[in-house]
Amino acid sequence: MAILASVNLGLVLFDLSYVPWRDFYIRNLPQMTRIYDPIKGIEAHRETENYLATVDALTEQVSQTGLRSPQVATELEALRNLSGEMIDSNPFAAVDKSGTLEKIKNRMRDRIGVKSSKQAFSTFWSQAYLSKRGWNQEINFFNQTIRPLIITNYYRSIGENGELIDKFWRIDLPFVILFAVELLARSFYIKRQHPGFSWSNAILWRWYDLFLLLPFWRTLRVIPVLIRLDHARLLNLHPLRQQIHQGIVANFAEEITEIVVVRVINQVQGSIQRGELKHWLSQNENLRSYIDINNINEVEAIGSILVKTIVYQVLPKIQPEIAAILRHNIESAITQAPMYRNLHSLPGLEVMQTQLSDQLATQITANLYGAIVSATEDPVGAKLSSQLLQRFSEALGTEMQKKHVLSEIQNLLIDFLEEVKLNYVQRLSQEDLWKVLEQTKQLRRQPSVPPVQDKNSTALVRREGT
């Protein structure tokens, strides 16, 4: 079916090109024009056909009676009259080939060496000129230079509907019937595979095949032909599809990015203008516009995780550096004391000072870390810390809810968000989206590393699977 659709498309393109390229076909493939002219309603033009028939009659008469005979003089007189009529009536104009007549006149003027085309034809078709220049030479010039141009002229019939006759539908109809039957069969198969589909949905599943059924806009058949050739693996269109997809994404990504970012900023500005900042500062749990999905204060949970990570993981690793800083500060304080300056000359004092600094720095670091760990693990200390943070938040919220403070903060936030829209959103739109698409493509090409699952996650997956 892909090959048949390609053949049909080839016929469509040939039909569309036939009239504009008929001069080429009639010079190189005259048999084809005899077959296809009737399909396009093309007939030989009576005036130009009669002109060439008269030239043939003249040639026959010269071969029988010679160039100086009265019969030849009669034929030449007829050709002079027909030449004048052809120039005056311009039979080429009906099919937009006036340029061909101009070529004929120019070539005849150049041959005779005069400015008037009528005078050139009148001189050419005279016994005196043909005898002087030689009959065979001049008739060969006409047959090789003028006749091919006159042959290209034609008359195209008009039907009763007022349109030019075009019988290509007779060639196209069998293909259209075949494609229609195939589309119905495929739609029936799709409808059986998807019982919830209607006939319209099943047909639109192969929407591109509808172009094969249109009696107009036949050039659109290139779409289903390319798709069918790609499906049949007779043509690889993957690079083309990829470029089209990237072009579509690049065209829409800029507008979508701007719309999304601007809408988010507008929503934040609207929330601030509606006074929701005051409710947020007061930690109003009954704010209906805020949706809690897990009954967990995520801020407190994140803070707890960060505190535990710092206390149990980070601080033990940086204790030597903290002790070094304390040691340096202790040594600096001791050396700056006036009493130390007086005793500096005593033997062994410098070694004792170094040992004392090390012990003090180590002891202070250990005690400080122990105090932090104790405060973290002690329920009473943790409760007191929580109360401190809660009281700090309440006091800060209370002070910020004062009218002048809250109003100033709201105005500053709204102005800041407006500046973000004017500056950073424009940068997003100016970013080279083709580079972003290329980076995305490279990420897809990278091999994915399978995640490591522990026993709990494996069990969870199994439970979800069951």
Residues 109 and 348: their CA atoms lie apart, in Å, by 127
Q: Is the pLDDT of residue 264 over 60?
A: yes
Q: Which helix (H) or strand (E) holds 403?
A: helix 403-430
Residues 339 and 179: their CA atoms lie apart, in Å, by 108
Examine the fold and report which residue of 109, 124, 153 is the final residue of a domain before the chain moves on.
Answer: 153
- Closest among 207, 225, 224, 214 to 169, alpha carbons compared: 214
- 232 and 336 share one domain: no
- Closest among 352, 350, 360, 351 to 328, alpha carbons compared: 360
At 434 the pLDDT is 60
At 291 the pLDDT is 61
Q: Is the pLDDT of residue 297 over 60?
A: yes
Could you tell me if residue 227 is inside a domain? Answer: yes
Could you tell me if residue 454 is inside a domain? Answer: no
- 310 and 429 share one domain: yes
What is the average pLDDT across 68-96? 93
Examine the fold and report which residue of 188, 221, 239 is the final residue of a domain before the chain moves on.
Answer: 239
Could you tell me if residue 292 is inside a domain? Answer: no
Percent pLDDT > 70 in the chain is 70
Helix, strand, coil content of the chain in percent (nearest 5): 80, 0, 20
At 263 the pLDDT is 73
Could you tell me if residue 40 is inside a domain? Answer: no
What is the average pLDDT across 453-461? 42
Which of 173-187, 224-238, 385-399 ranks highest by mean pLDDT? 173-187
CA distances from 1 to 5, 32, 183, 238, 306 (A): 6, 27, 11, 20, 66
- 178 and 209 share one domain: yes
> Which domain range does residue 230 map to?
172-239
Contacts of 258 (CB under 8 A, 6+ apart): 425, 428, 429
- Which residue(s) pair with 158 in the sheet? 164
Q: Is the pLDDT of residue 462 over 50?
A: no
- Closest among 52, 58, 51 to 127, alpha carbons compared: 58
- 90 and 223 share one domain: no
Q: Is the pLDDT of residue 376 over 80?
A: no
- 225 and 322 share one domain: no
- The torsion of the CA quartet 45, 50, 51, 53, rounded to 10 degrees, works out to 120
The SS3 assignment for 452 reads: coil
Residue-wise pLDDT for 37-57, tens only, equals 999 999 999 999 999 999 999
Could you tell me if residue 208 is inside a domain? Answer: yes
Biggest distance spanned by C-alpha atoms of the chain: 154
- 183 and 91 share one domain: no
Q: Is the pLDDT of residue 71 over 80?
A: yes
Could you tell me if residue 141 is inside a domain? Answer: yes
Indicate the pLDDT class of residue 356, thresholds 50, 70 and 90: low
What is the average pLDDT across 444-449? 58
**DSSP 8-state secondary structure symbol assigned to residue 94:** G
Tokens of 361: 């720095």
Q: Is the pLDDT of residue 457 over 70?
A: no
- 229 and 303 share one domain: no
- 51 and 78 share one domain: yes
Bigger pLDDT: 15 vs 369: 15
Amino acid at residue number 461: V
Q: In the block, which residue shows the tokens 């010079």?
A: 27
Q: Is the pLDDT of residue 414 over 50?
A: yes
Indicate the pLDDT class of residue 455, thresholds 50, 70 and 90: very low
Residue-wise pLDDT for 312-348, tens only, equals 788 788 878 877 877 777 767 666 655 555 545 555 5
Could you tell me if residue 94 is inside a domain? Answer: yes
Q: In the block, which residue shows the tokens 């192969």?
A: 206
What is the average pLDDT across 27-32? 90
Could you tell me if residue 429 is inside a domain? Answer: yes
- Closest among 255, 259, 242, 262 to 437, alpha carbons compared: 242
* Counted domains in the chain: 3
At 465 the pLDDT is 42
- 137 and 74 share one domain: yes
Residue 97 class from Cβ within 10 Å (0-12 exposed, 13-18 middle, 19+ buried)?
buried
Q: Is the pLDDT of residue 352 over 70?
A: no
Average pLDDT, the chain: 79
Tokens of 460: 């969870």
Amino acid at residue number 257: T
Indicate the pLDDT class of residue 180, thresholds 50, 70 and 90: very high
- 202 and 303 share one domain: no
At 126 the pLDDT is 94
Residue-wise pLDDT for 123-138, tens only, equals 999 999 999 999 999 9
- 190 and 119 share one domain: no
At 235 the pLDDT is 83
Tokens of 312: 């149990």
From 59-68, 85-94, 322-331, the region with the lowest mean pLDDT: 322-331
Indicate the pLDDT class of residue 311, thresholds 50, 70 and 90: confident
CA distances from 191 to 183, 195, 198, 207, 270 (A): 12, 6, 7, 14, 49
Q: Is the pLDDT of residue 281 over 70?
A: no
Q: Is the pLDDT of residue 118 over 50?
A: yes
Contacts of 202 (CB under 8 A, 6+ apart): 187, 188, 190, 191, 194
- 328 and 420 share one domain: yes
Q: Residue 389: CA atoms inside 13 Å, Cβ hemisphere, count?
A: 9
At 444 the pLDDT is 61
- Closest among 246, 258, 245 to 430, alpha carbons compared: 258
What is the average pLDDT across 5-9? 95
